[in-house]
Structure 1
Amino acid sequence: MTETAVYAAGGVVWRIVDGKLRVLLIHRTKYRDVTLPKGKVDPGEMLAETAAREIHEETGIRVALGVPVGVSRYRLPSKRTKIVHYWAAEATDAAIRASAFVPNKEIAALEWVSTKKALARLSYPVDVEILEYFAGLVEQGVLGTFPLIVLRHGKALGREEWDGEDAERPLASRGKKQSQAIVGPLLAFGARKLISSPAVRCVATLEPLSAILGRKIHTTKRISQDAWEDGASDARTVVGERVRARKPAVLCSHGPVLPELLTEIALATGTLRGSYLGSASALDPAAFSVVHLSANNPGSGIVAIETHLPKV
């Protein structure tokens, strides 16, 4: 990120009504325009967290983010560049029923329309470009997705600072802060199932998220560093279970194990392997890669991969 740019995030919110796709437009009061829900990043936020928060604040609808659908850039009157990251986001029936939206001084109205009508009504070319990319995904039949999130544990105490077993090595002070910082963005992607190496530093990285969700952390030696060093790791079994389940999941493991996890996701979904897997698995402490897979046909390949770095 550059200091001169203004960063924001939002989404193309969609739902199926009577078998037909509808997308959500917002009519803004002050600007008298029609646009997509979005807003500026708050201090300390990661972009995905911003997108989910802003969609909820502007529409009253809580969403889990799907695939990324593009980045728009334009000049503000202040001459600064505004950079907006967008994700597709399904609005479930339950989320819509729970919405308490009423017209206000910022948002005059919400409107669900076909993609074709939305393209004609949007006020800005940059929004049209985002929606056109989204429409392309729809045509490819990969709109409904679920994420497998591969997470490296937070910063741990150095080996030279620890006398006990390596698996017992705890998070450093920075690692504890990182474990808190990633809760929001992991929630933004709808994280539900929590799977971890038994190592203390991995489990501790997921504990703040576990507490918020009220969900247990499931540990497995199959993705532990000890098993990897012994040649006994088994990422294939862990990944296979998650792909078949077709539910959002977080897999928290160690640097050396991450390439195996990403490779097995590619193999399990019939995706060609390439250098992108190396980039997605070369993660700093508490960074994570979100692998988006088709909910209807996971075997059709990886739809998208995105990597996020903690702001700590």
Structure 2
Amino acid sequence: MRIPAAGTLPWRLRDGELEVALVHRPRYDDWSWAKGKLDPGEYWAVAAVRETVEETGLVVRLGPPLPEARYTLLGRDGTPDDKVVRYWTAQVTGGDGHLVNEIDEVVWLDVPAAHTRLDYARDRDQLLALVRLHQTARLDTWPLVLVRHAHAVARGEWSDADPLRPLSADGRRRSAALVPVLLAYGVSRVLTSPSERCVRTVEPFTSAAGVRLRTRSGLSEEGFEADPRTAPAHLGRLLDRGEPAVLCTHGPVLPSLLDDLEDRLDLDQPASVEVVEEFAEARDDRLAKGEALVCHVVGTGDDARIVAVERHLP
């Protein structure tokens, strides 16, 4: 049986020195990363943030993903189970540090001390990957999330103006499922096409997060057809701001935006092949309806570069 789990490596700079947060589990008397098993139907990224809050009391925003860990455990019946743990870098955005779940101590350590303190060799893979990101100025990122609106009522079943076409029942379920995903990346700015199906895709998130929903006619199909320059201009302004952001639009608009972002892929890094392949798959699909494509960006404006990409599919 496969056991899926997720966790984070919270990091900070203290007097210019990189530090990471480790947790101690009294049940096993070991030091490791904050992590835990996925709830049924839960996204990996959502579980990573939830488990970090439960084990450290710290609210985090996910950054670039790190190498996963795979190892074998003996189940209660004595049969081997394969555990797969996915990790992310994470920046602390809140929380009181109150420990509530299986952990009796959280410590911030510099890299050499953390390397020594960790009880499992496999946990050092994530630490070394985080250090490499820091050394190459790719650790301190911000997320830019492209969202294609969720499934709407079919055009043939709708007699009113197309911009008023609502989400289907499946689309409404998907818009609700996007809420914890976008929360995991700390999104604080939302731009969307004013079409009903786009607004309703991101509105549950803006309501839950207390984030203002901003509509832009240039992100609609009609606005893009009238002036194809407007949608890329909105994307450019988000890149200038460098704030965790979501841009929600339509399939016909996405190729123009994805072309602009493709030019910003960071190719001067060891993981460039994986980043390019992941991005290419999303571009070729023009994103699935209801998909969130998370681009982890370093820098702003003309200097903005995408160092990692994640697809969150329905």
TM-score by length of 2: 0.90
Aligned match for 2:34, one of 34, 37, 41: 37
The 1:295/1:157 distance shift into structure 2, 3 A limit, reads: same
Distance 2:280 2:101 in 1: 47
SS of residue matched to 2:128:
helix
Distance 1:129 1:69 in 2: 9
Show the counterpart of 1:302.
306
Show the counterpart of 1:89.
90
Show the counterpart of 1:147.
143
Show the counterpart of 2:271.
none
Deviation at 1:110, TM superposition (A): 0.9
Q: One-letter code of the match for 2:87?
A: Y
Q: One-letter code of the match for 1:30?
A: R
Residue-by-residue CA offset, 1:14-54 (whole Å, 9 max, x unaligned): 11112211100111110111100011111232111111110
Q: One-letter code of the match for 1:173?
A: A
Deviation at 1:108, TM superposition (A): 2.1
Distance 2:197 2:97 in 1: 40
Show the counterpart of 1:277.
279
Distance 1:301 1:165 in 2: 39
Distance 1:39 1:302 in 2: 28
TM-score by length of 1: 0.90
SS of residue matched to 2:160:
coil
2:222 maps to 1:226: yes
Identity %, equivalent residues: 38
Q: For residues 58-97 of structure 1, what are the structure 2 equivalents within 5 Å?
A: 58-78=55-75, 79-92=80-93, 95=94
Aligned match for 2:292, one of 285, 288, 295: 288
Distance 2:278 2:44 in 1: 21
2:156 maps to 1:160: yes
Q: One-letter code of the match for 2:91?
A: E
Q: Point out where structure 1 has 5 or more consecutive residues left out of the alignment.
A: none
The 1:127/1:284 distance shift into structure 2, 3 A limit, reads: same
2:184 maps to 1:180: no
Distance 1:291 1:194 in 2: 15
Distance 1:270 1:129 in 2: 24
Q: Point out where structure 2 has 5 or more consecutive residues left out of the alignment.
A: 268-274
Contact residue 290 and residue 306 of structure 1 kept, 8 A:
yes
Q: One-letter code of the match for 2:170?
A: R
Aligned match for 2:211, one of 209, 215, 232: 215
The 1:156/1:197 distance shift into structure 2, 3 A limit, reads: same
Q: For residues 246-261 of structure 1, what are the structure 2 equivalents within 5 Å?
A: 246-261=242-257
Deviation at 1:270, TM superposition (A): 6.9
Q: One-letter code of the match for 1:278?
A: A
Distance 1:234 1:24 in 2: 43
Residue-by-residue CA offset, 1:165-224 (whole Å, 9 max, x unaligned): 221110001111111111001000001101001110000011111111222211112221
The 1:251/1:118 distance shift into structure 2, 3 A limit, reads: same
Show the counterpart of 1:241.
237
Show the counterpart of 2:124.
128
SS of residue matched to 1:154:
coil
Deviation at 1:86, TM superposition (A): 0.7
SS of residue matched to 1:88:
strand
Deviation at 1:141, TM superposition (A): 1.1
The 1:289/1:81 distance shift into structure 2, 3 A limit, reads: same
SS of residue matched to 1:34:
strand
Structural RMSD (CA): 2.0
